[in-house]
Structure 1
Amino acid sequence: MCRLGDLARERGAAALLDGEQVALFRLADDTVLAVQQRDPFSGAHVMSRGIVGSRGDVPTVASPMYKQVFDLRTGRCLDAVGREPQDLRTWPVRLDGDVVLVGGAPAAPPGAGPVPAESVPADSVPAGPVPADSVPPAPVPAAPAPAGPGAGVAP
């Protein structure tokens, strides 16, 4: 997918994996995790722009849209901010030297824990940088309509 050094610590980066947008996160200990780029609550492809943090020893990302918090290892929604929880899809990630490999065996469902790195074949994903212009821009959500009688009408 890319080289470890291409990913900033405690930040996300968008990538394409078989035509699907993926958000890669490099943690402070150089662990790399992959979740879907699409925010399930807004529909925008923005998860790589989320705020990386933790809850105890659980690495998390907060969506930049509505601030739902997700476990980066499992994709489980930890805080739905008053909405019905929706989980993120995850992908197994492993390092081959300094090359980040994403994909291979299907990821574990939320709550089952991460897929062991040894279950991902070394040749499952070719290495190579993803050009920044190959990731389509995220859609911009429409602004809410004004409410109330006469709202939005100029005086």
Structure 2
Amino acid sequence: MRLGMIVFVGLLAGAGAAHADSRLFCSADDAQARFTLESGFASDAGHRLNHFRGALIVKDPAQAPTFAKRVFESQHLSNHWSRDGELLLEVFDDGGDDTEGATLDLVVVAGVRGKPAANFRGTYSLTIEGGSKPYAAEGKVSCGSK
């Protein structure tokens, strides 16, 4: 009976940890940009993407007409990686007709492999190319898991 309880508690603890790490969010707010990103990864083998969404405001007035405010969905997530405490998200927005050929690329790298944590930090890089004025920014990002 005692062994059965230990196994049951161990299974519950493992299930809780897997579920807690399946939703990740990142945000930044500095002089260049303000954004939030949220992604969900399956807790089973492969950690497949369940969903992705986000919003970005580029604070540079020269970029305001094109990328002042953007909303992202799963089709904008061009690269993603979540494993053992490390997170990589790359968001690519080709803009369509409303950006006059300009594209936006936002890359977030956070966490430390081998050191999973509920809250962790990293960096972002943001580039806008193809418009009248190219733009590049970098900054710090805060991330966590739900």
| TM value normalised by structure 2 | 0.35
More helix by share: 2
Q: When you count strand as a share of all residues, which structure comes out higher? A: 2
Larger radius of gyration: 2
